[in-house]
Amino acid sequence: MKNGIEIRWHGRGGQGAKTAALLLADVAFKTGQNVQGFPEYGPERMGAPITAYNRISQDVIRVHSNIYHPDYVVVVDETLLESVDVTAGLKKEGAIIVNTPKSKEEIMEHLKGYEGDVYTVDGRKISVDALGKNFPNSPMLAAIVAVSKVMPRDKFITEMRASYEHKFAKKPEVIDGNMKALEMAWETRGKPVGVMFQAIKAVIIRAGSSGSYCGVTGSGRV
């Protein structure tokens, strides 16, 4: 896509892949970009594989379909590597980010010879250490923003604060903790992503309830 990027998310129901895609679309729209964010469901149940998508562009987006040749892929659940061709159509100029404690070398056999950049992020450890529960979507959201450079750090931080202030208006400690986590992630910018995101103390975005369709799309400046 000219003057933009396409992202495909792979996860399971209840892990928040859909929520992360919708939040990314919302934040990118507020920075003045044109966006799409929408999921594609298989069986609508907890743990079932789901796919979600983002298009983010400086130009008006006129395509309305699933994404078959993404610039980036985010894998929220590494068990999907064994059952889903997560690199299908992925551009070699792009990258794949996998939630796993394993190294790049340990997962390469599941990536079907993909020649582009591969990043691993231990999203489970990050979220469990921070909150005692496994909600890996937020570490993965931070990872894709950093890797894709889809928006500048300051704009990302500003819009994320506004989002959390709205969502957690009566819980200032949650806002402060989440913003501290984002700052920690960006302070280590420039290090390998697998190292960088060990520092994140996980902004937790709980997955919303499933529906037959839920999406975000926006055009024009805000």
Please indicate, yes or no, if residue 128 is contained in any of the structural domains. Answer: yes
Predicted confidence at residue 218, as pLDDT, reads 62
Positions of E strands within the chain: 4-12, 34-41, 49-57, 72-75, 95-99, 117-121, 216-218
CA distance 156 to 78: 27
CA dihedral sign, ordered 93, 97, 103, 109: negative
Predicted confidence at residue 10, as pLDDT, reads 97
- The total number of structural domains in the chain stands at 1
From first to last of the 222 residues of the chain, give the pLDDT tens digit: 778 999 999 999 888 899 889 989 999 999 999 999 999 866 567 788 999 999 999 999 999 999 999 999 999 999 999 999 999 999 999 999 999 889 889 999 999 999 999 988 877 877 776 665 677 777 788 889 988 999 988 888 789 788 878 887 888 766 665 665 556 545 433 344 444 444 333 333 333 333 333 455 665 433
Predicted confidence at residue 177, as pLDDT, reads 57
Please indicate, yes or no, if residue 29 is contained in any of the structural domains. Answer: yes
DSSP 147-193: HHT-S-HHHHHHHHHHHHHHHTTT-HHHHHHHHHHHHHHHHTBTB-H
Range of the domain at 76: 4-216
Predicted confidence at residue 195, as pLDDT, reads 41
Predicted confidence at residue 115, as pLDDT, reads 93
Please indicate, yes or no, if residue 182 is contained in any of the structural domains. Answer: yes
With tokens 């489970």, the residue in question is 124
Please indicate, yes or no, if residue 221 is contained in any of the structural domains. Answer: no
Region of residue 220 (left: phi > 0; alpha: psi -120 to 50; beta: else): left
Task: Assign residue 152 the CATH number of its domain.
Answer: 3.40.920.10
Please indicate, yes or no, if residue 47 is contained in any of the structural domains. Answer: yes
Please indicate, yes or no, if residue 222 is contained in any of the structural domains. Answer: no
